[in-house]
């Protein structure tokens, strides 16, 4: 693990954790476009990646619609979510989601925040999201719900500062996915590819669960149990690269490899 990068004492901005391979920067830009193409994000939402050589830094696009992100739009942040060199470019208001999760979870290498429509209802009613099929096995460990009102009262629902990011990270805990009441969700992964896979299949799983509830008309649902989820997710963490390679190829003409 690399040594923590020290803040610059001259410019007042955090010092960069170092150069990142251009292919990985392009992959991060592609991840934004993949999530848009898969219906997980639209004009809003974002994906980040921990700096490969500096665990106390992460990379994320400037404030921009995900489908428009290019490698030139990628900024570097410290874990307090201060940009290292914004060069006049704006940052997402909810970047604190990412920084605070990275602080508490050394195993997390990428984070997706989205407002995917099929997922949102599960944060509004007392119906837990469950793992409906093997590609969503990571959900079998449970999906907690972050209700921003519980600590902050009436807000605009945005995780727009460090304190709100800390509260969200506490709810996420060791889970891979957490819902945000009346807002959206976060998905975490041990790699960029895994986090994108989980974000996509959280949305797919939500649709399948809606259909299953309607079809069952109150009948018991035979979802994955904890052991099945653990075993299937171990396979998915390897197999997810197949989906990533497909999705990455689909946006190849949009984002340079």
DSSP state of 133: S
Angle between helices 22-37 and 192-216 (to 10 degrees): 10
- Other C-beta atoms lying within 10 Å of the C-beta of residue 7: 14
> Is residue 170 among the annotated active site residues?
no
Q: Find the length of the chain.
A: 257
Calpha distance 160→144 (Å, rounded): 20
Active-site choice (94, 100, 193, 203): 94
- Token digits of residue 74: 């990628």
User: d(Cα 189, Cα 206) in Å, to the nearest integer?
Assistant: 19
Token pair in block for residue 184: 């959206």
Question: Cβ distance 66 to 41 under 8 Å?
Answer: yes
DSSP 8-state class, residue 139: G
Q: Evaluate the CA torsion angle 78, 94, 100, 72 in order and state its sign.
A: negative
Question: Residue 190: is it exposed, middle or buried by C-beta count within 10 angstroms (0-12/13-18/19+)?
Answer: middle
Q: Tell me if 34 sits within 8 A of 247, measured CB to CB.
A: yes
Handedness of CA 7, 83, 247, 230 (dihedral sign): positive
Tokens 């979802």 locate to 223
Q: Which residues are CB-neighbours of 85 under 8 A, at least 6 positions away?
A: 13, 16, 75, 76
Catalytic residues: 94
């Amino acid at each position: 693990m690399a040594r923590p990068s020290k803040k610059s004492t001259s410019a007042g901005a955090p010092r960069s954790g170092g150069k990142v391979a251009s292919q990985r920067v392009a992959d991060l830009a592609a991840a934004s476009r993949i999530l848009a193409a898969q219906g997980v994000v639209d004009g809003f939402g974002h994906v980040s990646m921990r700096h490969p050589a500096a665990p106390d830094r992460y990379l994320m696009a400037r404030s921009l619609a995900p489908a428009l992100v290019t490698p030139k739009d990628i900024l570097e942040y410290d874990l307090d979510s201060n940009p290292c060199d914004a060069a006049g470019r704006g940052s997402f208001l909810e970047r604190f989601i990412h920084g605070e999760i990275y602080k508490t979870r050394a195993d997390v290498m990428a984070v997706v925040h989205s407002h995917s429509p099929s997922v949102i209802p599960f944060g509004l009613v007392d119906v837990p999201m469950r793992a409906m099929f093997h590609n969503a096995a990571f959900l079998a460990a449970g999906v907690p719900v972050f209700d921003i009102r519980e600590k902050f009262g009436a807000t605009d629902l945005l995780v727009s500062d460090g304190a709100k990011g800390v509260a969200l990270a506490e709810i996420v805990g060791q889970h891979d996915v957490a819902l945000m009441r009346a807002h959206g969700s976060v998905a975490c992964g041990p790699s960029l590819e895994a986090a994108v896979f989980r974000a996509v299949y959280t949305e797919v799983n939500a649709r399948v669960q809606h259909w299953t509830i309607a079809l069952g008309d109150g009948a018991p649902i035979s979802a994955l149990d904890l052991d099945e989820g653990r075993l299937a997710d171990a396979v998915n963490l390897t197999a997810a690269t197949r989906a990533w390679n497909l999705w990455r190829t689909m946006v190849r003409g949009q984002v340079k490899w």
